[in-house]
Structure 1
């Protein structure tokens, strides 16, 4: 029995490594083809992507981008273990950012306690946005892939309305909120970087928390049983509906927290471009890594590096700004294919 479990664990690890290598090969091929189509040298583009993502000078920016990806992917790993496919992290992050910005404006002078409230309130906003498709799946049998994906677009257009209307700063010509209270800012810890405490905490503690949650607790076992099928869940007297709702709540909360930290630690206000696609980028990370804490960390930093590298390559080589969106679309399609295979 123990030997069989070890074989399954080894197989899953090899499967994750294979998927990671496959993603990297296809990603590199697509970048090369896109570079050729724009008239750029593919080798130059790949060089500047690697330099922009993983050179010592760029590591702080890579970690800045990896942090929200890791936070969201850690949240998504929970429903994915139970075969609940939340594709709506982008919208949940946006609502978390809006919530944190709104309450942060009114918490000036609250200091560290205000930071905690803003982060939790942002998580609550993301939670509520994820709860809606969770309830629709449990009580109406709706496909959560479709409902969470559609909720992203609703969130984007609602954010556009709010940032151009009720939440728009009167002191700005752009669609953005007022700055949150100065004492709520997560200031950089190192000169010349944007690395704040939220980034270090997420990169250092989240993998450990995920390892304990999935590998050392009954929660991980129950999620695996639910993911194995409804018959097995009924046999162990577990409620699939309750697990669906709780896992959606957890993943939505984590996406909202990621949005809160983007507001408090990076932009200090809510903007239309607050996410930069982090919600979509976290999906393939969670798909490839599963509940493996080291894989979550490595994949998040890797994809954060690629994201930052593409931005650098745009400035130096002159590749179109839309390349990142093309890559995000490709990653989402690959994630949906994995859902179809596993689902």
Structure 2
């Protein structure tokens, strides 16, 4: 009964007006889109509408299974559609010297500031390991090293963030303590801002020069619950998350949708939100920190036949109303490119932040 009411509430949301503005090119500089773009340039809008029309014609009468090969996954609360793919993708995660760089910062121990660190290093305590024999700081040093030895990197990250910004290069070095296959690169597509359904959850795993991508598609809103739970089960196998603005958007959004279905789940994993590091590394050389801008300026990538994030809800509604899978193809390609780009940006940041 509760689930039926939830579905009816979601269906009513689809009748709400769009959540984006169409602006002229000369207005571009006046709009700071943030990191969840809610505006579309006038010229781009009509280009995307032509794309939608072309896709509707190209995929008229084509089944989902033929247009987007995948398989149905069943769960106790329903089904969703899994699309699996694999591509070659660089993923450079420098592990050499990562632990040494972290333990060389004595300020990660509570009570040690810059002045105290300078005095201690002058006295021969060059690393936190050296401090294990210190009469005052020995206990804290041993506790910190124990977290590292137990591979409790999530807790290490929390300790580090007390004393350094989330964008600090040492925070990024913590990634080097993980294997490539320990990372889940995630990105979601939604029907709008918070409280709207999630329609696609993408997760990619780097492994031996390749990127294995799983995308959990919600074929209609009744499948959101199952897609969320299946996605969460996959996420359990990873120890670290890579995202773009995921700490502020993707993770809270997923947790909120889980809560909507009565699951008070918390995603408690080490998290590398690339937006923080991108701001530090490149904010002086790029016009904005939108993902599309970063792709163009840093990766040299310009997407073709692209549906902007702000128009994903409109494309999905078109699919629901017409049962034509053409708009879904654009959404799935958009999501897959997002996670592939994040893998490449992680590698570029490794080069930029790790000296």
Higher strand share: 2
TM-score normalised according to structure 2 size = 0.28
- Structure showing the higher helix proportion among its residues: 1
